[in-house]
Amino acid sequence: MAVARTLRIGIDAGGTFTDCVAERADGSLAFHKLPSTPEDPGRAVAEGERALAGDESAGILTHGSTVATNAFLEGRMGAVGLIVNRGLEDVLAIGRQSRRNLYSLAPEGPRRLVPEERIRGIGARVSASGVAVAALNPAELERAAAELVAVGARTIVVALLHSARHPAMELTARQLLETAGYRVVASHEVSAEAREYERWATAVVDAGLAPVVSGYFTGLGARLRAREIRVMLSSGGTARADEAAARAISTILSGPAAGVIGARLAARAAGFERLVTFDMGGTSCDVALVPGEPVRTTEAELDGVPLRVPLVDIRTVGAGGGSVVWRDPAGALRVGPRSAGAVPGPACYGTGGSEPTLTDAHLLLGHLDPARFLGGRRPLDPALAERALARLAAELGAGTRETAAAAIAIADAQLERAVRGVTVDRGHDPADFTLVAFGGAGGLHAARLAGSLGCRRILIPRTAGTLSAVGCLAADVRRDVARAILEPASAVSGRSDAWFEALEREAEAALRSENVPPERRKTSRSLSMRYVGQSYEVDVPADGNEDAAERFHRAHTERYGYSRPEAPVEIVAARVAAVGVGREPELPTHRPSGDDTPDRRSLWLAGRVALVEAWRWAALHAGHESLGPAVVFDDHATALVPDGWRWRVDGRGNLVLELAA
Amino acid sequence: MSGTRAAPLELGLFHALFVALAEEMGSVLQRTALSPNIVERRDHSCAVYDRAGRTIAMGDHMPVHLGSMPLSVAAVRSALRLGPGDVAVVNDPDAGGTHLPDLTLVQGVYLEGDDEPAFHLADRAHHADVGGRTGGSMGPATNLWEEGVVLPPVRLLAGGRNVAPTWRHVLSGVRTPAEREGDLAAQLAALRTGERRLRSLVARYGRTKLEAMSEELLAYAARGVRAMLRDVPDGSWQFADILDDDGVRDETIEIRVRVTLRGESARFDFGGTTGPSAGPLNANPAIVRSAILYAIRALAPHDLPANDGLLDPIEIRVPPGSILDPGPGHAVAGGNVETSQRVVDAILGALAQALPDRVPAASQGTMNNLALTGAGADGRPFTYYETVAGGAGAGPGTRGASGIHTHMTNSRNTPLEALERALPLRAQRYGYRTGSGGAGRWPGGDGLVREIEALAPIEGTLLADRRKRGPWGLAGGENGRVGVDRIERAGGVVEKLPSKGSFSLRPGDKLVIESPGGGGWGGEE
């Protein structure tokens, strides 16, 4: 009963590869992977579309992009002018007055987001209770904006104290300037955060990214054949490109969010619901908790800059295949945080790198197939890996293989800390979750990591190499809106409906403009709450069936092990998420190809050499089941199954590892 | 102690495991506490100790706690026999405390079959008020009892249950008992987290291994310091720096140090330092240890583990009867926050002679401690404490950063929106104090101006320094400007404030704190 569908394409442009997937009219999926073109990311995206769409009529293309992330990290942002309350012109530069490195003789403060000459103070002022203690003077405001434009500002950010809770004055300022012809962003419209530095910084980053992001998507529109271009948002949803460009900061973690959504799709199709996603590539590793829905946060930071907008809560650690293995002057073996990157790359690439990396360690221990790395495009030289590691081992007075194994164990400890950060630190037991491992190195570390966390099950999706692209196809349309409240929970009864209804109207309007039919719209309400005096909130669903404070006490106990039922509770913000439920692609059934007899290789596993079966993933039959130790090779991923784990291949070709016994 | 073949390979792993444990504790404490000092300003530390009470690992929180917390652990161990489920609380400066608002909780972790703890855990947090003469417990005082409730090591929990008399004693002696109770609950939650993690490490690696690796980690830190000392020239250098006064007697206080570097060892001798302070500037050897550890970690070419091994190659001489070891009963509120900064300045001043191409000029050298009390809009009393950052000293090749906390503290500011919501205050200005950094080829960083208007009657205390002599420049760079503090009365009268003292604000009065700039480096071309 296949219904003819529009061609849908998902493309995730990562640092190394651009991954593409197409859902054809009959629902079947086609995959394509090509090298990224970082100097012009759109080129690879356009090539990917051409390769998959061919002559088919143009459809919808959803794009996971690192354009915003890179522009932010490299400081390539549009010139922003900032208008704040007089006397507070330096607040953005001071930040929280702390230094980034505790033990540095040349301490540094936060990154400077707006230069001094592009900041102006005006006499307007609202008190904490919302009283205008100094009125907004339109002439002064416009003069400030004109001066900022004269010194090069392209966008004006209006950032006033208490605007999250009392937005009226900031709103008026924004409207006045817009009427006068300026491009303007009001801080409270970007973030509901009730701390001035964090909200202002978020708004400034949004305004700075806007021209970069909109320029990129406009250019892309001209190159692509798709009739609609959509963007993967950091929240795990999607928006039409023009909508996303209007709130550019919402795309800042676009790519990693696509990975989480793709992992969730693959895991659900395999029958698993509660997940820890674990994406380990060449330079870093992204970890997220998905207890059904991905956990979201409004407390993220990137490069020390607060980003107070809803994001999939992804913890990143600087441990990847390229992480350098080294010895410090006090004689200890260390891993990272420096990465050999793609240039000079791991020693075994033979491209000039002489320092050993995690990839070299795995190669030396037989965990990688030198001939098949990256589909044979990058043959590895085990002799170079051995030379680099042997030199280090000699300095340490240890064996070469022992050194390689110890480096992997150190990386595992760093990965474990990241996973604990998203599970145990939030009151979740990893044993209740399935670890979904992907990225080139995910399958190499998954079993050891799961073992030390007490996770009993691992899923390594067959589509591990293109999971982020699949995530682009699978994501819902999404719009998050919020309003700062900052009132005692006991004082708001009855009024919360009015807040929620206003937020729902705003969110629904966004879905309407995205042409989401009413039957596919879904909204959910939540309240961010805390004990009076705390500065971290717990998000509690607010469906009206139960007292919000009760729910908060329980959530607090779950997360932190105690609650204080007698203590006053405060509502920090009301939030609404509006979702246009998407159509999830059907992942293909597995069609094995080639000879499925394993060869035997000696691998170094768990402290000794073992002769293990080495399988070709593509040749394995669905239903195949056996016990570790084993290694499964594929073009873009390798899975290592230690002793004590049972593994099988499911109908979609996924590897499922379960702790035996 | 060291030398097993596997050790170099496993040090990194076990270091990561122990640090992760301390960081997990810190994350729980910070997220569940109530006091703005802890949740917003992160004035807290968590650490794990071995059987003998030596620090194995500490989260990177507050440098001033690193050298002092183990002395609190030691004091608890010698005063009490901590049984399973017991948690002790201590803040007595004579028991490894720093100043009274820092409450330290210590517990032992018993492993199966033992009759003494195999490990210890501790966390320390700066509470917003612990009683005493002035709200915030940081005001001018002439003896310890004026500063708040003094807690020698006592049990807060026994066998896992609250010890009611201790709780009553602590909570009845403070201005904001509900907040204290919440913060102590958070400190206990952090200890529980630490214990759970430690037990899972024991289950995974075995106690023998963990205990052996603890030893290895101590030896590793000591090797790191020795390697660093080997690379600096031998010699002996002296330096003296001053504190303006102690708020009671109008006399400068001199911190004098002779640093002797020889081969792989170092000696820090504070002989010649001024005697006990009649005001609240008295420090203790725990604080001196922290200051030395800070300087060593800052000079090390790479990150060294924060454990007790760092002090192995180091000899410290603090003359008893000096302001750095005054004996019991002296007021200490400013020893931790002010004198500690000057101890670092003195140490760096001596080391700058040994390493002129590395050591920067003096930074602001004060934390500008401000404590305010009054009644909030709801009539309930509040106490509020914060510090104000200043200029960092310039170094050979680097300008000093402006408006940043340096050396012994890294506590964050309170957001103005949070400040105005909670207290009857209005911020008029928060910005750089332009031109306050010392001139030089590399200029020192600028201090800050924090100007707040009272909307209701407020009592305040200021504890600050570098109001008489600015932070020193180096190699021809000029000194940073001294700090200046004043009240601009509603009627227009301006009153200059002493650097240490109490004041009253009436509605409409403005309090202005201008923090010092950092010293410059090198003559201007």
Alpha-carbon gap: B351 to the closest alpha carbon of chain A (Å): 12
Provide the domain limits for residue B82. Answer: 7-222
DSSP code of B469?
S
- Render pLDDT for B262-315 as a digit per residue (tens, 0 to 9): 999 999 999 999 999 999 999 999 999 999 999 999 998 777 888 999 999 999
What 3 state SS string does A522-539 have?
EEEEEEEEEECCCCCCEE
Q: What is the DSSP letter of B338?
A: I
Q: Which residue has the tokens 């997940």?
A: A275
Measured between CA atoms, how close is B147 to chain A, in angstroms?
Answer: 24
Burial, A536: exposed, middle or buried (Cβ in 10 Å; 0-12, 13-18, 19+)?
A: middle
Task: Give the Cα-Cα-Cα angle B235, B239, B244 (nearest 5 degrees).
Answer: 170
Q: Is A100 exposed, middle or buried (0-12, 13-18, 19+ CB in 10 A)?
A: middle
- Mean pLDDT over the full length of chain A: 92
User: What are the tens digits of pLDDT across the range B148-183?
Assistant: 999 999 999 999 999 999 999 999 999 889 889 999
Residue B333 lies in a domain: no
Q: What is the pLDDT of residues A175-199, one digit of tens each?
A: 999 999 999 999 999 999 999 999 9
CA distance B350 to B365: 16
DSSP A368: S
Report B:29-68 residues touching A (Cβ under 8 A). 30-36, 39-40, 42, 60, 63
Backbone φ and ψ of B473, nearest 5°: -85, 175
CA distance A540 to A556: 10
CA distance B505 to A181: 45
Using CA atoms, how far residue A399 sits from A211, A367, A393, A444, B9, in Å, is 54, 18, 6, 22, 10
pLDDT band at B525; cut points 50, 70, 90: low
**Sign of torsion, CA B331 B332 B338 B339?**
positive
Instruction: Look at residue A3 in the predicted model and tell me its pLDDT.
Output: 46
pLDDT at residue B510 greater than cutoff 70: yes
pLDDT of residue A545: 65
**How many cross-chain Cβ pairs, A to B, lie less than 8 Å apart?**
211
Of B205, B222, B239, at which residue does a domain stop?
A: B222
Q: Give the DSSP letter string of B212-236.
A: HHHHHHHHHHHHHHHHHHHTS--EE
Interchain CB distance below 8 Å, A536 and B13? no
The predicted pLDDT at position B1 comes to: 38
Helices A400-422 and B7-32, interaxial angle, to 10°?
Answer: 10
- What 3-state DSSP class applies to A176? helix
Specify the pLDDT at position A620.
96
Interface of B with A in 452-471 (CB under 8 A): none
Give the pLDDT of residue B304.
83
Mutate to test the interface with B, among A127, A534, A564 (most CBs of B within 10 A): A534
Q: Report residue A269 as tokens.
A: 């199709």
Asked whether the predicted pLDDT for residue B12 surpasses 90, the reply is no
Mean pLDDT of A409-434: 88
- Domain boundaries defined on chain A: 80-212, 256-306+313-320+414-466, 323-364+373-410, 477-580, 599-659
The residue among A535, A538, A564 with the most chain B CBs within 10 A of its CB, best to mutate, is A535
A100 touches chain B (CB under 8 A): no
Q: Is the pLDDT reported for residue B524 higher than 50?
A: yes
> What is the tens place of the pLDDT at every residue in A286-345?
999 999 999 999 888 898 899 999 999 999 888 899 999 999 888 889 998 888 877 788
Q: How far is CA B449 from CA A574, B403, B452, in A?
A: 35, 9, 10
Q: What is the pLDDT of residue B422?
A: 84
Q: What is the DSSP letter of A123?
A: S
Tell if the CB–CB gap between A425 and B403 is shorter than 8 Å. no
Give the integer Cα–Cα distance in Å for A365 and A379: 16
Q: How many CB atoms lie within 10 A of CB A540?
A: 22
Rg (CA), chain B: 23
Q: What's the pLDDT score for residue A299?
A: 86
Using CA atoms of A341, A343, A347, A350 in order, give the dihedral in degrees to the nearest 10: 150
Residues 298-327 of A with CB under 8 A from B: 327
CB A19 within 8 A of CB A70: no
The two three-digit tokens of residue A516, written as one number: 């989401």
Q: What is the pLDDT of residue A464?
A: 79
Tell me which of A612-621, B52-61, B152-161, B330-339 is least confident.
Answer: B52-61
List pLDDT tens digits, range A31-66. 998 888 888 999 999 999 999 988 777 789 999 998
Residues from chain A that touch B178, judged by Cβ atoms under 8 A, are 567
pLDDT digits (tens, 9 = 90+) for A8-33: 999 999 877 899 999 988 889 999 98
Q: Are A239 and A217 in contact (CB under 8 A)?
A: no
User: Which residues is A274 bridged to in the sheet?
Assistant: A291
Q: What's the pLDDT score for residue A375?
A: 74
Which two three-digit tokens encode residue A122? 């005006």
- B149 in reach of chain A (CB within 8 A): no
Answer yes or no: do B421 and A403 touch at CB < 8 A.
no
Q: A417, A445, A412, A372: which is closest to A657 by C-alpha?
A: A445
Q: Do A94 and B227 touch (CB under 8 A)?
A: no
Closest to B91 measured CA to CA, from B214, B184, B20: B184
Residue with the bigger pLDDT between B470 and B32: it is B470
User: Hey, is the C-beta of A330 within 8 angstroms of any chain B C-beta?
Assistant: yes
Domain boundary among B222, B249, B272: B222
Whether the CB-CB separation of B471 and B438 falls below 8 Å is answered with: yes
Q: Are strands A599-605 and A538-541 parallel, antiparallel or unpaired?
A: unpaired
Walk across the sheet containing B425-433 and list its strands. B425-433, B447-454, B510-514, B484-488, B494-496
Give the strand pairing for A305-307 and A300-302: antiparallel
Between A149 and A74, residue with greater pLDDT: A149
**Residue type, position A352, single letter:** G
What is the band of A567 on the pLDDT scale with cuts at 50, 70, 90?
Answer: confident
| Residue B448 forms contact with A (CB below 8 Å) | yes
End of a domain among B188, B222, B256? B222
Strands A521-531 and A60-64: unpaired
Q: Taking residues A3-9, report their average pLDDT.
A: 75
Residue range B113-129: average pLDDT? 93
At residue B3, the pLDDT reads: 44
Output DSSP code: residue B411. P
pLDDT of residue B172: 94
Identify the pLDDT of residue A396. Answer: 93
Burial B226-241 (b: 16+ CB within 10 A, else e): bbbbeeeeeeebbbeb
A263 within 8 A of A421, measured Cβ to Cβ: no
Of the pLDDT bands very low, low, confident and very high (cuts 50, 70, 90), residue A77 is very high
Residue B98 confidence class, pLDDT cut points 50, 70, 90: confident
Q: ipTM above 0.85? A: yes
In chain B, how many domains are there?
2
Contacts 24+ apart (CB under 8 A), A497-502: A497/A544, A499/A574, A500/A525, A500/A542, A500/A574, A500/A576
Domain A256-306+313-320+414-466 belongs to what architecture? 2-Layer Sandwich (3.30)
3-state secondary structure of A555: helix
Residue B312 and residue B224 in contact, taking contact as beta carbons nearer than 8 Å? no
List strands edge to edge, sheet with A538-541: A29-35, A17-23, A8-13, A60-64, A228-232, A238-240, A477-488, A569-580, A521-531, A538-541
A128/B27 touch (CB, cutoff 8 Å), yes or no? no
Question: Strands A599-605 and A608-616, how do they pair?
Answer: antiparallel
**Rounded-to-integer distance, Cα A22 and Cα A59, Å:** 10
SS3 A292: coil
Give the separation between CA A175 and CA A395, rounded to whole angstroms: 66
- Strand A274-280 and strand A434-438: the pairing is parallel
**C-alpha–C-alpha distance, residues A464 and A33, integer Å:** 12
A424/B contact by beta carbon, under 8 A: yes
Give the distance from CA A627 to its chain's centroid.
34
User: Is the Cβ pair B224, A403 closer than 8 Å?
Assistant: no
A 10 A CB-CB count for A225 gives 16
Residues 6+ apart with CB under 8 A from A331: A396, B8, B11, B220, B223
Which residues of chain A are within 8 Å of residue B180 when distances are taken between CB atoms? none
| Predicted pLDDT at A561 | 72
Query: Using H for helix, E for strand and C for coil, what is the string for A129-154?
Result: CCCEEECCCHHHHHHHHHHHHHCCCC
CB atoms within 10 A of CB B168: 11
Closest Cα to residue A361, out of A378, A343, A375, A340?
A: A340
Q: Determine the residue of chain B that is closest to A532 in CA distance.
A: B34
CA atoms within 13 A on the CB side of A390: 8
**Rounded Cα gap, residues B173 and A472, in angstroms:** 59
Nearest Cβ partner for A533 among B34, B410, B415: B34
Flag whether B456 is in a domain.
yes
Q: What is the mean pLDDT of residues B37-58?
A: 88
The residue with greater pLDDT, A535 or A396, is A396
Compare CB distances from B389 to A97, A104, A335 and report the shortest one's residue: A97
pLDDT of residue B6: 56
Q: Is residue B265 part of a domain?
A: no
